[in-house]
Amino acid sequence: MPTITYREAISQALWEEMERDERVFIMGEEVGVWGGTYAVTRGFLDHFGEKRVRDTPIAEGVIVGAAAGAAMAGLRPVAELMTINFALLAMDQIVNTAAKLHAMFGGQITCPVVIRTAGGAGRQLAASHSQNLEGIFAHFPGLKVVAPATPYDAKGLLKAALRQDDPLLFVEHATLYPTRGEVPDGDYTVPIGKSEIKREGRDVTIIAFSKMVLLALEAAQELAQEGIEAEVVDLRTLRPLDMEPVVASLKKTNRAVIAEEDWRSYGVGAEVAARLYEEAFDWLDAPVARVAQAEVPLPYNRELEQLALPKVTDIVRAVKEIV
């Protein structure tokens, strides 16, 4: 099986779906001439032409609004936002227009727009450009939110996203683009709304998504050297949230640690913890532990930024406290 980067996996998914379905087109800032901020669409303009690879003004509300309109009219647009931080400028178009059209019109309208965006911290982009906002968008019914951790899942989930009929926010952690993993040749999809066990274990369940899955797997390897076998569950999709593998894992290990890069307060981890207490309280042998970013606007200074972000050592420490 070929080993490729996360960036290449995303690019392959877009290319293959554009070849497969002429209704798919890309629009966003610098997606054409410059090939995208993270080089995902490099070469697309020359191959598919200006009609299907459209550079836009720096106007996120316009990008998502126009994409939603195109989706309502029967096309399958991919609206690229340079970072999830800029999605706040398109909040109304995402959560009040795209997410609600199907319900408000009694199922007569679909809006199959895929909004691709990069999130996450660790690149010294300071507080307003380093946020993990997927939990905010996952709050809204009608909008699917996907956050893959591996190249395999990134390609399969993006292809699945482009074939379904709901508005979907596809969040790519910016530091994952150079990471590598096995991706099969040929067409495949990964089901949206299905969590997956990435590592089997018996002593504790570590629940994570996006980049934190890689840190959780690294922590599990370190813990194994001390005789603690951790099971790692990758949520992959935040709405709809698939808790079945999470609950099943907890019933086996009786302990859980949730690792996320966003803030603890009102985040994805808070929702997962609440669900575990509601659905599997009798199987818990210890309180659910949570690892997250420090509750501060992220500093620009590299040393301070790294101090604020969750690390492998934090996950290891949290596990040892409850095992």
Q: Which residue is catalytic, options 8, 17, 29, 60?
A: 60
| Cβ atoms of residues 258 and 273 within 8 Å | yes
Write the DSSP symbol of residue 288.
P
Containing domain of residue 67, as a range? Answer: 3-182
| Cβ atoms of residues 235 and 142 within 8 Å | no
Q: Which residue is catalytic, options 16, 30, 129, 279?
A: 129
pLDDT at 152: 98
What is the number of domains present in the chain? 2
Token duo for residue 287: 């309180």
Note whether 142 and 278 are same-domain residues. no
pLDDT at 186: 86
Note whether 165 and 36 are same-domain residues. yes
Looking at 153, 182, 211, which one is the last position of a domain?
Answer: 182
Note whether 50 and 156 are same-domain residues. yes
* Whether 47 is catalytic: no
pLDDT in tens, the chain (323 residues): 899 999 999 999 999 999 999 999 999 999 999 999 999 999 999 999 999 999 999 999 999 999 999 999 999 999 999 999 999 999 999 999 999 999 999 999 999 999 999 999 999 999 999 999 999 999 999 999 999 999 999 999 999 999 999 999 999 999 999 999 999 988 999 999 999 999 999 999 999 999 999 999 999 999 999 999 999 999 999 999 999 999 999 999 999 999 999 999 999 999 999 999 999 999 999 999 999 999 999 999 999 999 999 999 999 999 999 99
Note whether 167 and 203 are same-domain residues. no
Cα-based distances in Å from 318 to 228, 263, 293: 13, 16, 14
Note whether 124 and 215 are same-domain residues. no
- Tell the burial category of 55 from Cβ atoms under 10 Å away from its Cβ (0-12, 13-18, 19+): middle
Looking at 182, 214, 245, which one is the last position of a domain?
Answer: 182
pTM of the full structure: 0.97
Q: Say which residue the tokens 């909008």 belong to.
A: 143
CATH number at residue 153: 3.40.50.970
Write the DSSP symbol of residue 265.
T
* Whether 129 is catalytic: yes
pLDDT at 185: 87
